[in-house]
Amino acid sequence: MGHRLQHHGAPLGLGVVGGMLAATLLWWVRPVSGVRPAPAASSAWPVVQIVRRADPSVVAVLNEQRRGGVLATRGLGSGVVVNGQGDIVTNYHVVAGASAVVVVAAGHPYRARVVGVDPATDLAVLQIPDHHLPYLPLANSSRVQPGELVVAIGQALGLSHSVTAGIVSAPDRTLYRDGWTYHLIQTDAAINPGNSGGPLVNQQDQVVGINSSKIARTGVEGIGFSIPSDTVRYVLQEILRYGQVRRPWVGIQVANPARSGAGLLVVEVYPGSPAAHAGIQPGDFLLRMAGHPVKSVREVVSVLEHVAIGSAVPLVLGRGSETLSVTIKLAVRPKANAPAL
């Protein structure tokens, strides 16, 4: 794509130095009286009202890792309470690699339980003991329009409850990172290290997206991305019900062949997988899936995004000089060490 898509969960290497982090943690737990001025009685600027209502639902998320026998905070991000049960949504990359996760809500630190994560959408769900936190409902992101006013709230550079405002620049951008496909909302509200996992809020006090990344490139400003609330809702429901997001699985590893136009070379077939049951073999070429020609992993993933687990999917294979047609019944992708396909 030519751009560097940078996640912003703010590990220390992304600009939060130890001194700032320590000072910020004290700020989260024991706010200094008199620093925040009393809110004005009213304001014509809608952002003031949005923040006043939304801010209590935004939390800090600390990624603690054990190194040399010592548990220390190695990164920080944001999160938001999204329902009356107290479920908190943040980014997967905010909690990735954590030995423990701490959530700071309403000035109080809590040891959080990671209910589930989904690297494919960069989302994670957390729970803490206090279930009486105010929450922000999830919007219907399919109705988001370019030009809508939106507000981002989070721990930008470790500065607690920082607020930036902007508009929806585009409601659906497709980006690719680390082999995953992301459908994202583009915004010009500033997204900085520490904002990851925080909400992008509309004028109806609804979460339209979970802030996740921006394009980090010299001369580029105001191109940030949020995970759409419709995606968040689906992932949340799947994790709460199954502990993971169930996705259809073929059970093959593929590579692009040396010659163009030959489809995808099957380099490995996983034992017990749908592909193995269908008789697919290493060395076969995957030419078509569900009637669509496939010449890249992205094209295969695009097909799988639109078929249900348990569906019977026709494949066309090349094997030597023969063309074969087989049908596979898609299974649930295993949670551990399973290929994307």
Q: What is the dihedral of CA 175, 13, 79, 4, to 10 degrees?
A: -10
Which of 291, 280, 284, 293 lies closest to 255, judged by CA? 284
Report the C-alpha gap between 324 and 65 in whole angstroms: 50
Report the C-alpha gap between 243 and 224 in whole angstroms: 29
Structure tokens at 72: 């220390």
Question: Catalytic one among 93, 169, 212, 226?
Answer: 93
196 is catalytic: yes
181: phi then psi, degrees, rounded to nearest 5: -100, 130
Dump the DSSP string for 48-111.
HHHHHHHGGGEEEEEEEEEETTEEEEEEEEEEEE-STT--EEE-HHHHTT-SEEEEEETTEEEE
Report the C-alpha gap between 231 and 337 in whole angstroms: 23
Question: Catalytic one among 162, 196, 213, 229?
Answer: 196
Q: Are 326 and 279 in contact (CB under 8 A)?
A: yes
Report the C-alpha gap between 270 and 272 in whole angstroms: 6
Dump the DSSP string for 205-224.
S-EEEEEEEEE--TT--S-E
Question: Catalytic one among 87, 118, 122, 284?
Answer: 122
Report the C-alpha gap between 330 and 107 in whole angstroms: 47
Burial degree of 82 (CB within 10 A; 0-12, 13-18, 19+): buried
Cα–Cα distances in angstroms (integers) from residue 266 to residues 74, 289, 295, in the given order: 40, 13, 12
For the chain, what's the residue count? 341
Enumerate the active-site residues. Answer: 93, 122, 196
